[in-house]
Amino acid sequence: MRFGPHLLLAALEGLVTSAVLALTALGLSLVFGVMRVVNVAHGEFFMLGAVLAWAVSTAISGHPAIGFVAALVIAPLLVGLVALLAERLVLRRLNYNPEGTIVATIGMLYIIQQLALTFYGPEARPVEPPFSYRILLPWFGYSGYKLAVVAASAILLVITWLVLTRTKIGLIMRATQYDRETAQAFGIPVERVYAGVFAVGAMLAAIAAVLIVPISQAHYLMGQDPLLLSFIVVIIGGLGSLRGTVVAAVLIGLSDGIVSMFFSPTLAKIIATLIVAMVLVFRPQGLFGATSR
């Protein structure tokens, strides 16, 4: 294959990675930004979203699009509910203590993973895409659904941004993020904000998973890679910065797509990790993160 088409394919693949990564990392970043909780179980919420998408779409017969749309609505809601329960039963009882919550979310990671293994099983199961249109380019074919994933993710990111910057809920969230005690003094129900943010963070991961599951498959170990990549993205972008998260996701996704296609996937991972190290050394708050107060 010549250089031009090759690069195009690499960029397309990178964009799909970026799109899903941006959504997942945004959830992680939101939870850290507002709650100062490092949610190690974030990848498992992603996995749970995919597994539930499989369950919902197989339970509904008819055109695959119906099952998929149902999954896109039901799976994130259920995952949000699980996250809400986890927040109520675990995180709140730990007073959102930073060290305590890390250990607790590691525990949640294993519990969710093993429950999935027990009730869903070790197989990788496919979900039918809502439509299977193959875009025929002169040099190669490409999945139309993959491009739809990129578009859907972009729309969701814009919606999240609008909610955060233009609505009262967003204002309350930002106020809580900026200074918890003052927000509380002004009558903001901080605990309810925390619960909501934790649920929304998990739901963003679940939505990303539902979008990706027709491309890859639902598998009980699928949460590990997104977790690692999300951390990389969030560290580079700056914890708690929405803009930074999106920019870093596109950066990591595209470099992963292009480097792994022209060189090797291992080199792509090396570069991503190296960028993280460089950012931590020279700009510990991340590219767009504010310095800690």
Partner 1 sequence: MADKNGFFDLSKTTLSRRTALKGIAAGAGLALAPGFVRYSQAQSSAPIRIGFQSHRTGIGAAYGRWYEKTSAAAVKAINDAGGIGGRKVELVIEDDGTDPARGAEVVNKFAKQHKTDIVFGTLFSHVVIGSAPAAGENKIPYFVVSEGHHVASTKLNRYVFQPGITDVKSQIQSMAPWIAANAGKKVTQIFPDFAFGYDHRDYLPPALKAQGGEVIAQIAIPPTESSFTKYFPQIPAETEVIYHVMVGPAVLTFVKELGEFYGSQRPQLFGFIDSLEAVDINSPGLEFLDGSHFWEGSPRYAQPDDSAAQKAYRAAVGIDDNGAAVGDAKDVSTAAHMFGCWETLYVVKKAMEDAGYKGPEDRAKLVEATEALKEFAEGPEHPQGPKTFNGKIHQCFGIQNISKVEGGKLKVVHKTKIEDGLYEPEGDYTTQAL
Smallest distance, Å, CB 121 to partner 1? 8
CB 170, CB 164: distance < 8 Å? yes
Structure tokens at 254: 């595209």
If you write DSSP's letter for every residue of 224-253 in order, what string do you get?
Answer: HHHHHHHHHHHHHH-TT-HHHHHHHHHHHH
Contact with partner 1 (CB under 8 A): which of 266, 267, 273, 278?
A: 266
Q: Which residue stretch of 69-77, 147-155, 197-205, 253-261 sits at the interface with partner 1 (rule: CB under 8 A)? A: 253-261
Consecutive H or E run containing 141: strand 141-143
Residues 6+ apart with CB under 8 A from 76: 49, 203, 206, 207, 210
**Least distance (Å) from partner 1 to the CB of residue 105?**
13
Query: Mask 15-34, x = binds partner 1 (CB under 8 A)?
Result: -xx-----------------
Q: Map residues 206-225 to x or -, x wherever contact with partner 1 holds by CB under 8 A.
A: ---------xxx-xxxx--x
97 binds partner 1 (CB under 8 A): yes
Using the minimum distance from each CB to partner 1, give the nearer residue, 58 or 184: 58
| 3-state secondary structure at position 168 | helix
Residue 238: which region, alpha, beta or left (left: phi > 0; alpha: psi -120 to 50)? left
Residue whose CB is less far from partner 1, 93 or 166: 93
Contact call for residue 136 and partner 1 (CB under 8 A)? yes
The size of the interface with partner 1 (CB under 8 A), counted in residues, is 43
Burial of 52 by CB count in 10 Å (0-12 exposed, 13-18 middle, 19+ buried)?
buried
Q: How far is it, in rounded angstroms, from Cα 132 to Cα 146?
A: 10
Q: Is 260 in the site for partner 1 (CB under 8 A)?
A: yes
Residue 125's DSSP bridge partners are 218
Furthest-apart CA pair in the chain: how many Å? 63
The contact pattern for partner 1, residues 139-158, with x = CB under 8 A and - = no contact, is: -xxxx---------------
Q: Is 255 in the site for partner 1 (CB under 8 A)?
A: no
Minimal distance, residue 143 CB to partner 1, in Å? 5
Binding site for partner 1 (CB under 8 A): 1, 6, 9-10, 13, 16-17, 64, 94-95, 97-100, 103, 117, 121-124, 126, 128-129, 132, 134, 136, 140-143, 215-217, 219-222, 225, 257, 260-261, 265-266
